[in-house]
Amino acid sequence: MSNTRSGTAILAEVRDGQLVIELSEQIKAAVAAVHEHNKAARVMVELTISPWKGTEKLIEPPVIIVGEVSSKLPKPESPATLFFIGEDQNLTRNAGTRQSDLGLSIATVAK
């Protein structure tokens, strides 16, 4: 049987536990965004493991682990705006000759 430490035990020690706290917060935010927008979210943990670059000569040199948590949360769809293609291929909000202007304005209400 292998005596390999579990990944969760190692993650719990990265940045003195702050990585796991950030991961929990990102998961909670992702669940809320999925529930609100009915779209998928993604939460990522990235570990960069580098050799020790210290000037001291160590018998057993350590490694350095840098951990980052990131997420891609769903967002609401941006409102769309309808445009027509006018003369000379310019975009316009009016349908041109096919639609006449109604000449509407906002009325004031007397109190």
Q: Which of the four pLDDT bands, split at 50, 70 and 90, describes residue 3?
A: confident
Predicted TM-score (pTM) of this structure: 0.66
- pLDDT at 59 > cutoff 90: no
Contact (Cβ atoms closer than 8 angstroms) between residue 65 and residue 31: no
pLDDT digits (tens, 9 = 90+) for 13-36: 999 999 999 999 999 999 999 999
Where are the chain's structural domains?
7-76
Give the three-class secondary structure for 19. helix
